C-alpha cells in the first residue's frame, strides 16, 4: 500500500472514530476543489464542517419527523388558509415560528368536527419539526391508554420522563377520551407535569364549559382548564365542516357529469 493510500485510510478511520461521516465522504473531493480554487486551509476546513453540520441537521430532522407520528398529509402546504377564520390566519405565522414552544405556552384549537382543528395543529407541528423542535402527535385516547398501562405497571414516572423529551405534545380530539376516572386521573397528571415547562397542543370539539365531560368533577375540570389555558393561544375554528362541504362539492360534480 502506498503512503498516500495509507494516509487516506488512516484519515478515514480517524474521521469514523470522531463520528464525522460527511467529512469522511467528502474531504478528498473538496480538497481537489480547494486546490483548484486557491482556498485557504481555514476555508477548506470551514466548508467541510458546514457540510457535516448541515447533514447532521437533515438527519436529525428526519429522525424527529419519523418519531413525531405527525400525519404526513396534514401540512402547511395542504392547509387551505383562505377558509380559516381571520384571527386564526393572522396567528398562524407566529405559531409556526415556534416561539410559543420556547416559552412553554400551549395551543388549544376548539371547533366543531370537520373545521380543520387536527390539520392546523399538525401543520404547525410539521413546521416546528423543520426547525429542529421535537413534537409528538397522538390521538388523546391512545396516549391515555399508554399512561394507564404505565401506571398499572408502576412505571408512569418513567413514561412521563420519556414524553418530556418532546417540546410539544399534540393531543388530538381530547373530547373523545373515555369517561372513566382512571383515565381522567392520568390525563390530568400528564397535563400537570407539563405545566409551565413543556407545551401541549390540544384539539377539542368541546368548549371549556363542557370539559366536565372529560374530567368528571368540577374541581378537577377547573384545575385542568386553569393549567391548559394559562399561557395559551386559543384558536377558535368556526364555520362549516370542511369534510361535509368537500363531500357536497364532489357529489355536485358527480351529478353534473352524470
**Domain shared by 22 and 124, yes or no:** no
Q: Do residues 130 and 61 make contact, with C-beta atoms less than 8 angstroms apart?
A: yes
- How many other CB atoms sit within 10 Å of the CB of residue 129? 23
Strands (E), 104-222: 106-111, 135-139, 168-172, 199-204
Q: Is the same domain home to 54 and 94?
A: no
Q: How many domains does the chain have?
A: 2
Residues 130 and 191 in one domain: yes
Task: For residues 24 and 150, state if they share a domain.
Answer: no
- Domain co-membership, 59 together with 76: no
47 and 29 housed in the same domain: yes
- Does residue 195 lie within any of the structural domains? yes
Q: Do 147 and 210 belong to one domain?
A: yes
Question: Residue 201 domain-assigned?
Answer: yes
Identify whether 252 is part of a domain. no
Nearest to 83 by CA among 203, 244, 241: 241
> Does residue 49 sit in the same domain as residue 121?
no
- The model's pTM is 0.83
135/232 same-domain check:
yes
Q: Distance between CA 236 and CA 173 in Å, rounded?
A: 15
Structural domain that includes position 186 = 69-245
pLDDT one digit per residue (tens) for the chain, 258 residues = 444 455 667 887 888 888 888 888 888 899 999 999 999 999 999 999 999 999 999 999 999 999 999 999 999 999 998 889 999 999 999 999 999 999 999 999 999 998 999 999 999 999 999 999 999 999 999 999 999 999 999 999 999 999 999 999 999 999 887 667 888 899 999 999 999 999 999 999 999 988 888 887 889 899 999 999 999 999 999 866 555 555 454 555 554 555
The H or E element spanning position 164 is: none
Amino acid at each position: 500500500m502506498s503512503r498516500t493510500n495509507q494516509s487516506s485510510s488512516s484519515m478515514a478511520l480517524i474521521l469514523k472514530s470522531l463520528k464525522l461521516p460527511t467529512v469522511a465522504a467528502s474531504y478528498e473531493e473538496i480538497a481537489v476543489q480547494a486546490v483548484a480554487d486557491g482556498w485557504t486551509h481555514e476555508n477548506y476546513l470551514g466548508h467541510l464542517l458546514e457540510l457535516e453540520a448541515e447533514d447532521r441537521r437533515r438527519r436529525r430532522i428526519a429522525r424527529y419527523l419519523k418519531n413525531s407520528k405527525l400525519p404526513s398529509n396534514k401540512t402547511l402546504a395542504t392547509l387551505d388558509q383562505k377558509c380559516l377564520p381571520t384571527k386564526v390566519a393572522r396567528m398562524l405565522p407566529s405559531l409556526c415560528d415556534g416561539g410559543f414552544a420556547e416559552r412553554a405556552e400551549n395551543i388549544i384549537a376548539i371547533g366543531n368536527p370537520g373545521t380543520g382543528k387536527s390539520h392546523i395543529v399538525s401543520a404547525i407541528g410539521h413546521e416546528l419539526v423543520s426547525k429542529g423542535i421535537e413534537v409528538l402527535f397522538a390521538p388523546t385516547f391512545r396516549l391515555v391508554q399508554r399512561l394507564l398501562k404505565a401506571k398499572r405497571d408502576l412505571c408512569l414516572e418513567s413514561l412521563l420522563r420519556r414524553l418530556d423529551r418532546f417540546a410539544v405534545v399534540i393531543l388530538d380530539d381530547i373530547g373523545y377520551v373515555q369517561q372513566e376516572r382512571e383515565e381522567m386521573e392520568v390525563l390530568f397528571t400528564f397535563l400537570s407535569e407539563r405545566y409551565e415547562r413543556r407545551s401541549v397542543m390540544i384539539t377539542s370539539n368541546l368548549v371549556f364549559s363542557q370539559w366536565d365531560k372529560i374530567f368528571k368533577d368540577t374541581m378537577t375540570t377547573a384545575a385542568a382548564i386553569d393549567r391548559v389555558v394559562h399561557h395559551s393561544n386559543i384558536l377558535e375554528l368556526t364555520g362549516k365542516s370542511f369534510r361535509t362541504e368537500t363531500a357536497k362539492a364532489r357529489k355536485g360534480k358527480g351529478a353534473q357529469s352524470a
